[in-house]
Chains A and B, each alone.
Chain A
Amino acid sequence: VTNLAQLARLIRSKNAGPFWLTFDIMFDSPENYLKVKKSGAIKREELARRFNLPHQEFRIYFCDNALAIKISIPRPVTQGDCGDSDGHGGQQYAPLMEIEIPDSGFPRGHFRRT
Chain B
Amino acid sequence: VTLDQHADNPQEIRVLAATGVCGSGFLEETFERALALEPHVIGCDAGSTDPGPAYLGTGEAAFPRDAVKRDLRIMLKGARRLRIPLIVGSAGTAGGDPHLEWFKAILLEIAVEEDLAFRLAIIHAQQDRAFLERLYASNRIQPLDNAPSLDADAIARSKRIVGLMGAEPFIRALSAGAEVVLAGRATDTAIFAALPLSCGIPASVAWHAAKILECGAAAAERRRHPDCLFAWLRQDHFVVEPPNPTMRCTPQSVAAHALYENANPFHLVEPSGVLDISAASYVREGNRSVKVAGSRFRPTQLYTVKLEGVELAGYMAVLIGSVRDPFIIRQIDDWLARLKRRVRERVTLIYGEQVAAYRFDIRVYGRDGTMGRLEPVKKVSSHELAIVFEVTAASQQLANAVTGIVRHQALHLPIPEWDGMITAMAFPYGYLERGPVYRFNLNHVALPEDPYEMFPMELSEIEGKAIQDHQK
User: Residues of A at under 8 Å CB distance from B?
Assistant: 14-20, 22, 24, 26, 49-53, 59, 61, 63, 65-68, 70, 72, 74-83, 85-88, 91-92, 94-95
Give 10 new A-B contacts, CB below 8 A, not counting A19-B440, A63-B266, A82-B316.
A16-B262, A17-B49, A19-B147, A51-B376, A52-B374, A68-B265, A80-B438, A81-B53, A85-B370, A95-B376
User: Residues of B at under 8 Å CB distance from A?
Assistant: 49-54, 144-148, 251-252, 255-256, 258-266, 280-282, 308, 313-314, 316, 359, 361, 363, 369-376, 390, 392, 437-440, 443
| Distance, CA A40 to CA B258, complexed state (A) | 24
**Chain A residues, CB < 8 A from B369:** 85
| Distance, CA A67 to CA B266, complexed state (A) | 13
Instruction: Return the chain B residue nearest A75 by Cβ.
Output: B146
Contact A17 B443 (CB under 8 A): yes
Contact A53 B374 (CB under 8 A): yes
**Chain A residues, CB < 8 A from B54:** 80
Contact B255 A63 (CB under 8 A): yes
Contact B440 A78 (CB under 8 A): yes
| Distance, CA A14 to CA B144, complexed state (A) | 19
Contact of A86 among B146, B256, B370 (CB under 8 A): B370
**Chain B residues, CB < 8 A from A61:** 264-266
| Distance, CA A16 to CA B269, complexed state (A) | 13
Contact B263 A85 (CB under 8 A): no
Contact A16 B313 (CB under 8 A): no
**Chain B residues, CB < 8 A from A19:** 144-148, 440, 443
Contact of B263 among A59, A65, A88 (CB under 8 A): A59
29 contacts between A and B (CB under 8 A): A15-B50, A17-B49, A18-B49, A20-B145, A20-B263, A22-B262, A26-B252, A49-B376, A52-B373, A52-B374, A52-B376, A65-B280, A65-B281, A66-B265, A68-B256, A68-B265, A70-B265, A74-B146, A76-B372, A80-B439, A81-B439, A82-B314, A85-B370, A85-B372, A86-B370, A86-B371, A92-B370, A92-B374, A95-B376
| Distance, CA A65 to CA B266, complexed state (A) | 11
Instruction: Return the chain A residue nearest B251 by Cβ.
Output: A65
Instruction: Return the chain A residue nearest B147 by Cβ.
Output: A19
**Chain B residues, CB < 8 A from A94:** 371
| Distance, CA A63 to CA B247, complexed state (A) | 24
A-B pair count, CB < 8 Å, reads 130
| Distance, CA A100 to CA B141, complexed state (A) | 44
| Distance, CA A50 to CA B378, complexed state (A) | 12
| Distance, CA A24 to CA B252, complexed state (A) | 13
Contact B374 A66 (CB under 8 A): no
Contact B372 A83 (CB under 8 A): yes
Best-surrounded residue of A18, A67, A81 (most CB of chain B within 10 A)? A18
Best-surrounded residue of B259, B363, B439 (most CB of chain A within 10 A)? B259
B437 to chain A, nearest CB (A): 7
Contact B440 A80 (CB under 8 A): yes
**Chain A residues, CB < 8 A from B371:** 85-86, 91-92, 94
| Distance, CA A75 to CA B282, complexed state (A) | 31
Contact A72 B263 (CB under 8 A): yes
| Distance, CA A53 to CA B48, complexed state (A) | 28
**Chain A residues, CB < 8 A from B263:** 16-17, 20, 22, 59, 72
Q: Which 5 pairs from chain A and chain B are nearest by CB? A: A66-B255, A80-B52, A16-B263, A72-B263, A74-B146
Given A76-B374, A79-B49, A66 and B252 contact (CB-CB distance below 8 Å): yes
Instruction: Return the chain B residue nearest A71 by Cβ.
Output: B263
Instruction: Return the chain B residue nearest A95 by Cβ.
Output: B376
Contact B392 A82 (CB under 8 A): yes
**Chain B residues, CB < 8 A from A17:** 49, 261, 263, 443
Contact A82 B374 (CB under 8 A): no
**Chain A residues, CB < 8 A from B361:** 82-83
Contact of A82 among B49, B280, B359, B370 (CB under 8 A): B359
Contact of A15 among B261, B373, B390 (CB under 8 A): B261
